[in-house]
Structure formats: structure tokens, C-alpha cells
Amino acid sequence: MPDKNSFDSVYQHSIEQPEAFWEEAAEAIHWDRKWDQLIDDSDSPFTRWFVGGKTNVCFNAVDRHVESGHGDQIAIIHDSAITGSQSQLTFSELKDRVSLFAGVLVQQGVGKGDRVIIYMPMVTEAVIAMLACARIGAVHSVVFGGFASNELAVRIDDCEPKVIVAASCGLEPGRVIEYKPLLDKAIELSRHRPDSCVILQRPECKAEMQAGRDIDWYDAVAQSTAADCVSMDATDPLYILYTSGTTGQPKGVVRDTAGGIVALNWTMKNIYNVNPGDVYWAASDVGWVVGHSYIVYAPLFARNTTIVFEGKPVGTPDPGTFWRVISQHNVKVLFTAPTAFRAIKKEDPNGDYLKKYDTSCLQSLFLAGERTDPDTLQWATDHLGVPVIDHWWQTETGWAICSNCPGIELLPIKQGSPTKPLPGWQMEVLDDEGKPVKRGDIGSLVAKLPLPPGTFPTLWNARDRMFESYFSRFPGYYESGDAGFIDEEGYLYVMSRTDDVINVAGHRLSTGAIEEVLASHPDVAECAVLGVNDDLKGELPLGCLVLSSGVEREDNEIIAECIALVREKIGPVAAFKLAVVVNRLPKTRSGKILRGTMKKIADNVEWKMPATIDDPVILDEITASLKTLGYAS
């Protein structure tokens, strides 16, 4: 048996004896019927795990905790920093509400394998709707609340839902976003028509209902009969989650039933080091993979209390919101995006708001979603006094590829690295010809097949596209789309997306490495580096800098210092001479900087308004700023 206290030993066990490793992990969940075959890799890369097994996601997340005597434990805390309201549900109460809403879906004709789109803000009912689908074997597809009608229509046509569950509105600081008109327009644009729409009427905005199609959530629940869990095949799909595709047609990432339960349940103790009853907070949105995995499913599998938070890290009402939630709800682990901490650092660089709250309950902070620059990691470490752990994963993987694992062994933290590959993940760095590069050299980050449980077995109705997108370039490997390197100690570094590695006069440079240097400047709160076209050198790096609040120095002075800093840290080879100060950076609602769109604007090539953009007005501001440098003309 491996040494349970040694990360390297546990990792080697997972690679050398994968069946024994994942069998042990699978014993921790409830099975209606055990598997006949742990792994079926006969149709690689379309691997299937726990073939022949039967279980139910909702039973593992809710019912089994009630049956084991933990029904009175708090399962969900809803905290709205916008409305100032809070509520809680115990596991017993959650079971009752999920069962009744599952009954609503059954009454609308939804059964095993049918699809249900969920178009909701961060309210407890969004989680209830997801669990209700899982309870009866329906496949849910959560679309971020407030998505544009045409983008929602594309998803309606792709997954063809029998029912759409939506709220009347979502809330942003200072404004109400009406969802129902967006939904009506999306249905009008789509070829497929849902049989019905279940609408949660929020008090901030009452939606106009369409007779014969729209059903009030509360009225339907009041007339519902509770539905029981349906035993599902281990390989049945649990959900479809759409992620952006290079062709403009979104890719429907599928998560299967048993693999997701086993992997996510394993991560809660081993990666995040939380125990049953602990409060775990993923400050994300249910529309993203982080919300699926770590707001809804993993914490409930592990009998943690999960927080559903409606608000922002700043502006609801101030940069102390996160500290208030941690202190008030006794949060043990916080998982959020680096951009959230950059926003807090920008508004409160000295951490004055943090001093108002007792956050001694916090054990660790995990960051993911974008590369964590060392300056942000150091700021969080200095102010919180707990391990700040950068970990790397993707919508397709469903859980982390690389992470430090306090639940096994806390390894030394190296700034800029999400530590080492996790059990089940064999990572390599390949050049453009598919050959391994030397330790320390940048190349394409790939995972040796088969992928572990909990990853994506396919794309919805797009098997060939899945193969072409992820497995065709490097046979035998999953192509992550990220570029980076592995050092002599086995630590992996994610430097940028593969297409963000720029070629400056024949030298391959990572935009992430330049961003790391720029972010180390004391006046820079946040930055993005683009590779813009240049007739002489092919590409040149261009930096967009967001300054910290309270900085009163001249922009040109700061820019000159940043250019000198890159020259000092990276060298003249970077040819870094272009930088501009901007008020803010364009981002997706999940906090990822839209570097690709910014590059297209700078190069004056045709671009499409990203469906996931947080605020489209920012792109006008960026365009104006880039024009001052002679770009975006």
C-alpha cells in the first residue's frame, strides 16, 4: 500500500496501479450495483469508466446523508450580497425540495435522458433544479443567466431541451437584468421548441408569462408529487456544459455519472483537505464548470456545507465582501479566480478591509480559472496568512490536472506553478512535432491517455469534433491547448494558451512570462500582454496595464519603468516597447481576460463580440487606448 502521507507515493500508485487506485476511491460512494469493468479503453480516446455499474448522482449528493443520520446538517447557505438576504437548507430540507421539483419535471414529461436547460442566477433554486434533473436521470445544461438570446438559441438547438427552467431576472450591482425577454427571444430564434418553461419569479422583477408554455415555479411545486431517484448506468451522461469553440459553434462538454461522483468525491479530502461538516466556498457561478463541480456536486458528495453567493468581490458593497462571508459563515476553504483577488488588491492594496473581519477559520485559498501571477499570490499569502494554492484545470477535465494537495501532503509552493500533476494525470511537454522537450523548455502541455475518471467522455453529438479538437495532433495524448514547461523537480508551469505563445524574430516567448514581470511592478494591479502583428519581427508584445487605486504618478513614467523591468527580467529578446494604461480589462463573466479578442482589435482584423463578455463597453475603451499606440486603426 502507498504511504498515505507522501504525495509522490500516492501519485505513483495511481499511475502504476490505476485500477487499484480508482477502485479504492469508488468504494467511498454509494452504488446500486458495482461495475463489471473498471475501465473500458477499447475505443480510445473515448474511455468509459465503471462499466456496468449503477448509481445516482442526487442520491450520493443528498439522500445518502439523510439516510445516514445527517439530515439536520446545513447543506446550502445562500448569501446575496446584493439583496442583503441569507438563507439555509439542511440536507433533509434539500431532499424534500429537490424531490418535489423533480416531480415537477416528471409532470412536464421529463424522463431519463431528456435534456433540461437551466438559465438562472446564483439562487438556491438553480442548485435544486440541477439536482432534480440528476435525480430522475435527465441531462441538465446550465447556461449562464443573462447570456445573449442568440447564444442561448444555439444551445437550445444543439441539446434540444424538453423543458427550460429559468428565473425572471438576475441581479447585478445597481441593476436588474430581465432574463425572461432574453429567453423568449432565444426560443423565437431557435429551431427547436421546448414543451414548457418553468419560471422562478423573483420579487425584484415579475416576468410576463406565456399561456400554454410558461409555468410558475412555486405553483408547480405546490401541486407536485415527490419523485424518487432513478438508478443510472455509470456511463450515462449527467450534464452538458457548453464551452467556447474556435469555430464559433460552442462545444457541449459531457460529464458522465459515476466517473464524476468518484473523482469529485476523492478531491474534497485529498486536494482541498475538508472533512464532512466543513464549510466550503467556491466563489464562482453555476454557469461555469467550477460551479458544477465545486458549488454543487463535490461539496455535497463529501457532506460539506456549500455556499451559493450572489455578489461580486468588490462593489457589493466594498472590497471586504469576501472577508465578511468567510468570517460570518466559518468558511474553511475558499476557491475563486485570481481575477477576483486582483480586483480586491486593486481597490484595497493595503488590505484595510480584511482587518475588519476575523478570518482565522480559513485554512487555505485555492485559485484557478486563469494563471495566477506571483504578485497576486504573494499579496494573498501576506494578507491571509494561509497557503495560497494555484491549481490548473479546464471545463473538459472537470477537476484539477495539477495542484498542491494539503489533504495528502502540502508540498513547497513555487510561485507561478500549480505544483505537480495529480494522481491519474501523466503530463508531458511536447514540441510541434510531438517530441518531448527538455526539462524547463516551453511546449504543448499534454496528458497521456487514458484520462482519469470525471473527465469528459465525449462532446454532445460531436464525436468527430472531439477527436479533431483534442486528440488528433498528438496521438495517444489529450491536447490541453495550454503551453508551459516542467522543471527539474517535476513542478509544472502553465504559461499561456498555446496560441498566446508569440514569435518575436524567431524567439518563442510566453505572454504569461511577460505578464508575470509586469504584475510585479508595485503600481500595476492587473495586466494583459498581446502578441500584435509586426512587419519586421513577425509579432511584438503589447502590454495593457491597469493601475492600483490611489496611484497618482504619470502613466508614461510607470510605462517606462515597466518596459525597463521586462528588459531586465527577460532581456532585449522580448522586444517589449509597447504598453498602455487602461482603466480595466475585458473579461468573461468567469474572470478570464479576453486576450484573443483584444489581439484581433489591435491587428484590425474582423472579430465577434464574445458571448461571455462581462461588459461590452470595455472593448470600446480598449480600442481607443490601442489607437494611441497606432493599433486598431
Same domain for 509 and 457 = no
Residue-level pLDDT at 247: 47
- Whether residue 466 is found in the same domain as residue 538: no
Residue 414 lies in a domain: yes
469 shares its domain with 525: no
Q: Is residue 372 part of a domain?
A: no
421-434 tens-digit pLDDT:
999 999 999 998 99
Q: Which residue has the higher pLDDT, 224 or 591?
A: 224
pLDDT over 90 (residue 503): no
Average the pLDDT over 483-510 and give the result.
79
Name the least confident of 207-211, 269-273, 502-506. 502-506
Exposure string for 430-447, b = 16+ CB within 10 A, e = fewer: beeeeeeeeeeebbbbbb
CA distances in angstroms from 166 to 113, 149, 202, 294, 416, listed in the order given = 20, 13, 11, 21, 40
Q: Dump pLDDT digits (tens) for 193-215.
A: 999 999 999 999 999 999 999 99
Percentage above 90 pLDDT, the chain = 80
Q: Are residues 474 and 513 in the same domain?
A: no
Instruction: Identify the band that residue 498 occupies on the pLDDT scale cut at 50, 70 and 90.
Output: low
Domain membership flag for residue 588: yes
pLDDT, tens only, 577-611: 999 999 999 988 767 788 888 999 999 988 888 77
pLDDT of residue 188: 97
How far, in Å, CA of 490 to CA of 243, rounded? Answer: 30
Q: Are residues 415 and 532 in the same domain?
A: no
DSSP state of 296: I
Q: Which residues contact 386 (CB under 8 A, 6 or more apart)?
A: 362, 363, 364, 365
- From 247-256, 325-334, 614-623, the region with the lowest mean pLDDT: 247-256
Q: Which residues contact 200 (CB under 8 A, 6 or more apart)?
A: 120, 123, 125, 165, 166, 167, 168, 217, 218
For 546, the 3-state DSSP assignment is: strand
Domain extent at residue 524? 505-627
378 located within any domain: no
The verdict on 205 and 291 lying in the same domain is yes
Q: Give yes or no for a contact between 327 and 360, defined as CB atoms under 8 angstroms apart.
A: no
Residue 297 in this model has a pLDDT that exceeds 60: yes
Cα distance from N-terminal residue to C-terminal residue, the chain: 64
DSSP per-residue string spanning 178-240: E-HHHHHHHHHH-SS--SEEEEE-BTTBPPPPPTTTEEEHHHHHHT----PPPPEETTSEEEE
Give the pLDDT band (50/70/90) at residue 501. low
| Mean pLDDT of the 307-315 span | 95
Of the given ranges (83-97, 231-245, 368-382), which has the lowest mean pLDDT? 368-382
Nearest CA to 254 out of 187, 166, 159 is that of 159
Mean pLDDT across the stretch 479-492? 95
Verify that 514 and 593 share a domain, yes or no: yes
Instruction: Looking at the structure, tell me whether residues 75 and 200 fall in a common domain.
Output: yes
Encode pLDDT of 54-70 as tens digits: 999 999 999 999 999 99
What pLDDT is attached to residue 539? 82
Q: For residue 319, is it within any domain? A: no
Residues 34 and 162 in one domain: yes
Q: Is residue 244 part of a domain?
A: yes
Q: Residue 617 sits in a domain of what CATH number? A: 3.30.300.30
Phi, psi of 414 (to 5 degrees): -110, 120
In a domain, 448, yes or no: yes
Identify the CA nearest to 511 among candidates 488, 494, 525, 523.
Answer: 494
Phi-psi region at 181: left, alpha or beta (left = phi > 0; alpha = psi -120 to 50): alpha
- Tell me the CATH number at 31: 3.40.50.12780
Q: Do 151 and 202 reside in the same domain of the chain?
A: yes
Q: Looking at residue 449, what is its pLDDT? A: 97
At residue 369, the pLDDT reads 81
Per-residue pLDDT band for 74 (boundaries 50, 70, 90) equals very high
Q: Is residue 271 in some structural domain?
A: yes
Q: Name the residue with cell 475585458.
A: 586
**Cβ neighbours of 11 (radius 10 Å):** 22
Any idea what the Cα angle at residue 563 is, between residues 559 and 564, rounded to 5°? 115
* Cα–Cα separations (whole angstroms), residue 602 to 278, 529, 536: 47, 12, 17
Q: Record the cell numbers describing residue 116, joined without a space.
A: 433540461
**Helix runs in 17-52, H state only:** 18-26
Q: Count the domains in the chain.
A: 2
Q: Is the pLDDT of residue 245 over 70?
A: no
Are 448 and 563 in the same domain? Answer: no
Average pLDDT (525-532) is: 91
pLDDT tens by residue, 331-340:
999 999 888 9
pTM for this prediction: 0.86
Same domain assignment for residues 474 and 515: no
